[in-house]
Structures are given as C-alpha cells and as structure tokens.
C-alpha cells in the first residue's frame, strides 16, 4: 500500500521526557501491556518517562455515555494536567485511546473557547486548590513505538515472518476510533488510512491486510456495549469485521485501543457460541494483540509476562509460527510464582 | 499593426485568436503543452449531442491556420508586466515579447482525486476518474481492474467540488451532465453492465441536458441514487465496496462495484493561479477575477488585460468558445482606444 498523501503530513511527537497516564481498564484487560511499554521506553530506548501512581480516570467512558457532564470532565482532565505540571513534565502520553481522545478534545475546546479554559481553571482551584499548564505535546504510546520502530527493529530477536514458509505474516491492524477519527491531524497517517500500526507491521517484517471493513468500528462503541439491550449491535459489528477479514487469512489482529483489542478478541468466543463459527481455518480463532504485546514478543519478552494467557483466543499457534519459545508449564503462574487456576480448554472457542 | 498575446491554446484561446487575427490583429498564442487543445484531446464525446470531440478539435485546429497567428508551444509565461503603455511577457525560455493587450485563457485542471483518500483513488485499481473513463469510452475498452468487462459501473458526483473537506465549495457545473453522458456510453458499449450515479442533486442547466437525463433513465436504464459515497474499499476479488446513504430512502447502503468513477471537478490551473497572483487579479479558489460578472466579464480591471474561458470559473466547451468571442470583442474595443 502506498499513497503519497499519507506521507505529506507528519504528526509532531516529542522526543523525550514523557508523562505517562495509565488506563483504567487496560491493566485488567491486558495486564502486561503497560509494563511492557514502560520497559521498552526506559530499557530499550533510554527515554525519561514518568509513571505517576497518583493518576485517576479521565472520565472518558462516563463522558461518552452522558453520565459525566462536560464541566466535570474538563475539571478532572485539568487535575491530571496539574499533576503533570507539578512533576515538571510537558509531554503527555495517555495509555488509553479514549483518554487520548478526551485530552485532545478538551484542549481543542479550550483553544477555541478560552472562556471555558478560564472557567475550568476556576473550578479546579475551587475544588482542590490546584493550577495547571496544558501539555505541549500529546502523543499516544503507539505514536512513540511508531516513532522509534526502526530503532526497536534493530533490537528485535524475531520478525513478523512465518518461519515455516518464510513469508510475512498477514496482520490486520485496527485503530481506535478516538485516535484519529475525532481529530485527523492528531493521528499518524490521519483518519482514512492511519499508518501508526501499519508502519510498525511493515518495519518489523509483516504484511498489512487491507480488507473492506478496515475502518469499521470494532463493535465496542460505548453505548452499543454498555447498554445491555444494545449488545447485539456490538457483536454484529465485530462479526462484520471478522467476516470481511476472513478471506485474507490473517495470522493475527493488532490494535491500539483497549476496547477494540478486548472486543475483537472476546466476541470471537461469543460468535463461536452463537453461530458455531470461527474466522480462522483451524477453528481456534484469530489471536488479538496490543501493539505493546506485539513489540514485546518481537523483542523477546516472555509471552506469559506480557499477559497473553489472559486473552480469549490463545496465542501458542502464533508464537510457533514466529518461532518464539514459551514454557507451557509457566502459562498460569503469577509473576510471584503462585499457581493460578487454569481454564480446562482455553484454546477451544467452539464448545 | 496592433499586437495581442493570448496565453493558453485551448478552445477559448484559439477562438479569440482566430477572431482577432481575422480582424487584422497580430496574435501570439502561447501554449505550455507541445500541442494545443490538450484538455479537449482527453474527451471522447461532448454533451448533449454526443458530438465527437475530434470534430471540435479539427474545427478549432483549422482556425489556427488564419494568417496573423503565431503559435508558440511548449513554453509557459513566467513573467507578465505592465510597462505603462504595453505588456511585457517573458516565457520559460527567457524569450521576451511586447504586446498591446493580453488575454489570459489558461484554463483549468481537474481535481486531484488522490486528495479524497476515503474514495481510494490511486489505492484500488477499480477506482478511476471521469477522465480515465472518458479515455476508456474513446477507445471502446471499458475494463475493470482485472481487465474484464465490468458488470457494474458506479459514478460518484461532486468529487472535489461542493466539498468543504477539499476546500472547494463551488459547483463544477459540468460533472452532472458528464456523468449522465458517460453512463449512457457505458450502457451503449456494454448493454449487460449496470450503471448507477450517486448524486447530491442533478444540475441539468443546459439545453437538452434534462432530456438527456430522462433518456438515461428511460432508454438506458441508468439508476440514480441520491447520496454521497463515504468510503470505498478494495475487496478480496479486486472489486470495490462502497458505503453510502440513500437519502431518499433514508437508509444506509452498501454495495460492490467493478468500477467506481469519480467525477472530478474543475480547479484553476497552475498557470491560472500563478498569473492571477502575479497580476493581482486572483479571485475565489484561484480563478481569475473579472470586473463585473454581468457587464464586464472579460475585463480584469488592469489596462489591456483580459480573461476568457475556464480560467474564470468552470464552463462547458461551448460556453468557453462563446466567452472567447466576447473577449475578442472587448479586446478590439480596447485596441481602438489606444
């Protein structure tokens, strides 16, 4: 895939000194991803990235479901900025794509309506006697991995290549809607053909699958899932994407959004239950990785430390294709060595 | 003998040149391409009477043979300066010319469809522009991305015109009727192939246009869908999947087509933009600004500097020719006063 217009716009991504904002849900969904990202930034790239234990929600899910009013979201976001200001950082890196969208949106609103910014400063001060500066640069962690993808490639032990055939792995990339669909100029490659994950895949030896429903929503869609009666919409949207990518026989899916990675993975089991159907040849489903997991695996990190055992679709077949070693006995051991309760047949989607 | 420089050897430039030359004016006609009538050469048939474009080319080319016209092709005018009583032109080969008046007829260029990434031009082989389709019609080879006869051809109006995202708010005027003409041609050449046109509203402003639109539906079975296409994507078998909304039905629509034809609008050409800027007569969207659209539509407000044809706004070939005749008359009047 090549298009000269993709390369005309380059998003500004700060070089160093990042303030990291963890996600509310990613640590549960993908327990090793954020740790892997921090390890990559610090140990592999030698960057200054601050992981602040005092951080809290950005209100994103509540905001997008009309539970939290705008003024509250602005004040909560302002508090996060004040913590960053207090630590002496100016480059904000939110782990969650929804937080990235919320921060970008609030900054945009404050720039367009300075009276809202003044009101927010007043609200924050009244609430907790805090003051803040707006970040100079807001980048998603996937932007940073993209920025340093070639440096990381030099350190990687493995490539996105099928060791049995020697061919590049077919990789479906899925970008969170709140990454570039809200503000196209805030995403690498803009909204139509975001290049942030595609650039990683290409740099690391894989082949990006371009399928008809590439830009379609993953199915999460906030209200589609959070309102129980609407969950049929959520499953049907995921199904639409899986059906569309099926003929291309993807080896795995990678995403930069917590909701997308979660639902593209979990709904495969639900669809298998509902329709006795999987979208791979063997009936085990298509593995779904976060971009940190993808990078971590290629750098040689232990798949179980990365948390791949927590995924619905199991990853051993993918690890075998790439040639990444793993110890099946350690799969359900905790980081402290404690043996966790293992599912009976985790690889089975069709039951 | 009075001298006039005409910049651009399209229909407007040639028509004005021939009228002025026949009335005793020495005309130098500049053309940046090696041959005149470059845009017209890309056309197969002209609406609404399906006259072969070649006949128009032959007629206009004959007018170039009039005594008093010197055609200088393969050069661009890099500098245009008023020197108090006359204009000094410098071309891209550093040759200079001095004339009493200048007619700008630098025309248009089509919108670069790559700019609408969501429509997949340059990404999927099944996505082409109206210019590509015109070539296929001209050579009698309407083929899909796999080199086979298509079973379905879909036209999309207003690509790069009436479009806030691309920055062109104006109507390009000729695309509606061109799509109807091309859809009829597709049905004539491939009677088994479906043809549909996605539109916002169809502007059949010229004589015979509305009848042509009716004929397209009644005689050729072309279907018209009111709605814009939001996204085009390649399918596994090399076709193109479209997403749209049928705004008359009020329903979302997804369909697959063999060829998606983007009806690209007219934009001011690079020459039009640069001359307009250099002479301070650049108007909206880079087209040449004239003194008054009703009364003095060929006058630029600069002494001896005139404009004709699609350098002013989107126009059909016949409108360009008529506009050039009007410009020639205005230039003659001006020459009589100096």
pLDDT in tens, B256-281: 999 999 999 999 999 999 999 999 99
> A135 and A147 share a domain?
no
> B162 and B173 share a domain?
yes
The secondary structure of residue B299, as a DSSP letter, is B
Beta bridge partners of A238: none
- Listed residues A139, A163, A187: the one ending a domain: A139
Report d(CA A179, CA B181) in Å as an integer.
42
Contact at CB, B241 and A1, closer than 8 angstroms: no
- Listed residues A139, A168, A190: the one ending a domain: A139
Report d(CA A187, CA B138) in Å as an integer.
42
Q: Residue A77: which H helix or E strand, with range?
A: helix A70-87
Q: Residue B226: which H helix or E strand, with range?
A: strand B223-226
Report helix angle A291-299 to A196-203, nearest 10.
20
> A112 and A205 share a domain?
no
Contact at CB, B115 and A5, closer than 8 angstroms: yes
**What pLDDT sits at residue A191?**
86
CATH code, domain carrying A314: 3.40.50.11810
**What pLDDT sits at residue B111?**
97
Backbone angles phi, psi at B184, to 5 degrees: -65, -45
Report d(CA A51, CA A92) in Å as an integer.
11
Encoded tokens for B160: 């790069």
> B144 and B20 share a domain?
no
Query: Does A8 fall in a domain?
Result: no
> A187 and A295 share a domain?
yes
Contact at CB, B233 and A214, closer than 8 angstroms: yes
C-beta of residue B301 within 8 angstroms of C-beta of residue B324? no
Contact at CB, A215 and B231, closer than 8 angstroms: yes
**What pLDDT sits at residue A351?**
64
Q: Collect all residues of chain A within an 8 Å Cβ-Cβ radius of residue B118.
A: 192
Query: Does A34 fall in a domain?
Result: yes
> A61 and A183 share a domain?
no
Q: Are strands B240-246 and B251-257 parallel, antiparallel or unpaired?
A: antiparallel
The set of long-range contacts for B233-236, using a CB threshold of 8 Å and a minimum separation of 24, is: B233/A210, B233/A211, B233/A212, B233/A213, B233/A214, B233/A215, B233/B120, B233/B124, B234/A210, B234/A212, B234/B120, B234/B123, B234/B124, B234/B126, B235/A212, B236/A211, B236/A247, B236/A248
> B307 and B234 share a domain?
no
> A195 and A322 share a domain?
yes
> A132 and A163 share a domain?
no
C-beta of residue A285 within 8 angstroms of C-beta of residue A308? no
Q: Collect all residues of chain B within an 8 Å Cβ-Cβ radius of residue A4.
A: 114, 122
> A125 and A177 share a domain?
no
> B241 and B291 share a domain?
no
- Which among A193, A210, A214 has CB closest to B117? A193
> A302 and A273 share a domain?
yes
Report d(CA B204, CA A24) in Å as an integer.
57
CA-based nearest residue in chain B for residue A192: B118
Report d(CA B89, CA B104) in Å as an integer.
12
Burial of A238 (C-beta count, 10 Å sphere; 0-12/13-18/19+): buried
Report d(CA A5, CA A190) in Å as an integer.
10
Burial of B132 (C-beta count, 10 Å sphere; 0-12/13-18/19+): middle
User: Quick one: chain A helix, strand, coil %, rounded to 5?
Assistant: 50, 10, 45
Which ipTM score applies to this complex? 0.85
Burial of A228 (C-beta count, 10 Å sphere; 0-12/13-18/19+): exposed
Give B119→chain A minimum CA distance, Å: 9
Q: Does B114 touch chain A (CB under 8 A)?
A: yes
- Which among A3, A5, A212 has CB closest to B233? A212
Q: Collect all residues of chain A within an 8 Å Cβ-Cβ radius of residue B235.
A: 212
What's the total number of domains in chain B? Answer: 2
Q: Residue B259: which H helix or E strand, with range?
A: strand B259-264
**What pLDDT sits at residue B274?**
96
> A219 and A86 share a domain?
no
> A224 and A116 share a domain?
no
Contact at CB, B236 and A248, closer than 8 angstroms: yes
Report d(CA A152, CA A143) in Å as an integer.
13
Q: Does B241 touch chain A (CB under 8 A)?
A: yes
Query: Does A350 fall in a domain?
Result: no
pLDDT tens track, chain A, 351 positions:
445 566 667 899 999 999 999 999 998 899 999 999 999 999 999 999 999 999 999 999 999 989 999 999 999 999 999 999 999 999 999 999 999 999 999 999 999 999 999 999 999 999 999 999 999 999 999 999 999 999 999 999 999 999 999 999 999 999 999 999 999 999 998 888 899 999 999 999 999 999 999 999 999 888 888 888 989 999 999 999 999 999 999 999 999 999 999 999 999 999 999 999 999 988 999 999 999 999 999 999 999 999 999 999 999 999 999 999 999 999 998 778 788 888 888 888 876
**Interacting residues of A67 by C-beta distance below 8 A, sequence separation 6+:** none
Q: Does A4 touch chain B (CB under 8 A)?
A: yes
- Listed residues B224, B244, B266: the one ending a domain: B266
Query: Does A348 fall in a domain?
Result: no
C-beta of residue B39 within 8 angstroms of C-beta of residue B135? no
Beta bridge partners of B255: B242
Report d(CA B13, CA B15) in Å as an integer.
6
> A308 and A290 share a domain?
yes
Give A77→chain B minimum CA distance, Å: 30
Q: Residue A51: which H helix or E strand, with range?
A: strand A49-51
- Listed residues A105, A139, A173: the one ending a domain: A139
Report d(CA B141, CA B149) in Å as an integer.
8
Report d(CA B123, CA B260) in Å as an integer.
12
Report d(CA B215, CA A273) in Å as an integer.
53
Give B255→chain A minimum CA distance, Å: 11
> B186 and B253 share a domain?
yes
> B207 and B235 share a domain?
yes
> B191 and B92 share a domain?
no
Q: Which domain range does residue B307 map to?
A: 3-107+269-337
Specify the 3-state DSSP secondary structure of B194.
strand
CATH code, domain carrying B216: 3.50.50.60
C-beta of residue A183 within 8 angstroms of C-beta of residue A9? no
> B141 and B93 share a domain?
no
Give B115→chain A minimum CA distance, Å: 7
Q: Collect all residues of chain A within an 8 Å Cβ-Cβ radius of residue B234.
A: 210, 212
Average pLDDT, chain B: 96
Contact at CB, A3 and B123, closer than 8 angstroms: yes
Report d(CA A211, CA A216) in Å as an integer.
10
Report d(CA A105, CA A138) in Å as an integer.
11
> A22 and A159 share a domain?
no
Query: Does A203 fall in a domain?
Result: yes
**Interacting residues of A66 by C-beta distance below 8 A, sequence separation 6+:** none
Give, in degrees to the nearest 5, the angle at Cα B279 between B276 and B281. 50
Q: Which domain range does residue A57 map to?
A: 16-139
> B168 and B250 share a domain?
yes
Q: Does A181 touch chain B (CB under 8 A)?
A: no
> B127 and B190 share a domain?
yes
Q: Does B59 touch chain A (CB under 8 A)?
A: no
> B288 and B156 share a domain?
no
> B252 and B118 share a domain?
yes
Q: Does B235 touch chain A (CB under 8 A)?
A: yes
Give B154→chain A minimum CA distance, Å: 17
Report d(CA B57, CA B47) in Å as an integer.
15
What's the total number of domains in chain A? Answer: 2
CB within 8 Å of chain B, chain A residues 235-274: 247-248
Query: Of B281, B235, B272, which is closest to residue B255 (Cα–Cα)?
Result: B235
Q: In the predicted model, what is the mean pLDDT of residues B209-223?
A: 97
CATH code, domain carrying A89: 1.20.1050.140
Query: Of A17, A10, A25, which is closest to residue A262 (Cα–Cα)?
Result: A25
C-beta of residue A284 within 8 angstroms of C-beta of residue A347? yes
Q: How far is CA B316 from CA B47, B173, B306, B321, in A?
A: 9, 8, 19, 9
């Amino acid at each position: 895939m090549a298009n000269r217009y993709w390369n005309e716009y380059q998003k500004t991504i700060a070089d160093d000194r990042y303030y990291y904002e963890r996600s509310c849900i990613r640590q549960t969904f993908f327990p090793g991803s954020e740790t892997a990202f921090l390890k990559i930034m610090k140990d592999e790239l030698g960057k200054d990235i601050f992981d602040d234990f005092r951080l809290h929600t950005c209100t994103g899910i509540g905001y997008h479901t009309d539970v939290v009013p705008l003024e509250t979201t602005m004040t909560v976001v302002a508090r996060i900025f004040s913590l960053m200001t207090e630590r002496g950082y100016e480059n904000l890196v939110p782990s969650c794509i929804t937080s990235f969208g919320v921060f970008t949106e609030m900054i945009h609103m404050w720039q367009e309506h300075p009276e809202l910014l003044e009101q927010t400063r007043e609200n924050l001060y009244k609430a907790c006697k805090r003051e803040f500066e707006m970040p100079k640069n807001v980048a998603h962690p996937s932007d940073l991995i993209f920025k340093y993808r070639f440096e990381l490639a030099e350190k990687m032990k493995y490539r996105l290549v099928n060791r049995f055939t020697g061919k590049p792995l077919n990789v479906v990339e899925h970008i969170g809607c709140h990454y570039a669909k809200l503000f196209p100029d805030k995403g690498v490659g803009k909204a139509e053909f975001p290049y942030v994950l595609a650039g990683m895949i290409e740099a690391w030896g894989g082949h990006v699958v371009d399928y008809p429903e590439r830009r379609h929503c993953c199915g999460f869609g906030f209200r589609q899932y959070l309102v129980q009666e609407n969950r049929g919409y959520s499953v049907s949207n995921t199904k639409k994407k899986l059906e569309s990518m099926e003929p291309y026989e993807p080896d795995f899916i990678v995403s930069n959004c917590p909701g997308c990675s979660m639902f593209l993975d979990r709904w495969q089991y639900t669809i298998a239950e509902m329709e006795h159907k999987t979208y791979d040849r063997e009936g085990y489903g298509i593995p779904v990785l976060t971009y940190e997991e993808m990078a971590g695996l290629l750098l040689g990190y232990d798949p179980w430390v990365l948390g791949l055992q927590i995924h619905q679709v199991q990853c051993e077949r993918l690890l075998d294709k790439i040639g990444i070693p793993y110890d099946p006995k350690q799969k359900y051991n905790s980081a402290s060595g404690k043996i966790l309760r293992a599912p009976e047949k985790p690889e089975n989607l069709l039951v | 003998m009075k001298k006039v420089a005409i910049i651009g050897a399209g229909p407007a430039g040639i028509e004005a040149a021939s009228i002025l030359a026949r009335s005793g004016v020495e005309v130098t006609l500049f053309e940046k391409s090696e041959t005149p009538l470059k845009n017209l050469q890309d056309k197969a048939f002209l609406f609404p009477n399906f006259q072969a474009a070649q006949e128009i080319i032959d007629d206009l080319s004959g007018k170039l043979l009039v005594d008093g016209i010197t055609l200088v092709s393969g050069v661009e005018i890099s500098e245009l300066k008023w020197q108090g009583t006359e204009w000094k032109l410098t071309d891209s080969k550093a040759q200079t010319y001095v004339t009493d008046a200048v007619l700008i007829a630098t025309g248009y260029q089509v919108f670069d469809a790559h700019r609408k990434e969501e429509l997949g031009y340059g990404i999927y082989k099944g996505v082409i522009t109206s210019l590509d389709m015109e070539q296929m019609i001209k050579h009698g080879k309407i083929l899909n991305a796999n080199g086979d006869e298509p079973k379905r051809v879909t036209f999309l109006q207003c690509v790069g015109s009436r479009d806030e995202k691309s920055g062109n708010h104006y109507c390009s005027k000729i695309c509606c009727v061109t799509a109807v003409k091309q859809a009829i041609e597709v049905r004539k050449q491939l009677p088994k192939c479906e043809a549909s046109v996605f539109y916002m509203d169809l502007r059949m402003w010229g004589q015979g246009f509305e009848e042509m639109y009716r004929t397209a539906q009644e005689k050729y079975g072309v279907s018209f869908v009111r709605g814009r296409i939001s996204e085009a994507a390649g399918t596994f078998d090399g076709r193109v999947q479209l997403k749209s909304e049928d705004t008359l039905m009020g329903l979302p629509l997804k369909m697959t087509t063999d060829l998606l034809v983007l009806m690209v609008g007219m934009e001011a050409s690079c020459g039009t933009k640069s001359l307009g800027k250099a002479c301070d007569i650049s108007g909206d969207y880079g087209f040449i600004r004239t003194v008054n659209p009703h009364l003095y539509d060929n006058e630029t407000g600069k002494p001896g500097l005139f404009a004709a044809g699609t350098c002013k706004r989107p126009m059909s070939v016949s409108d360009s020719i008529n506009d050039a005749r009007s410009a020639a008359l205005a230039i003659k009047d001006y020459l009589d006063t100096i």
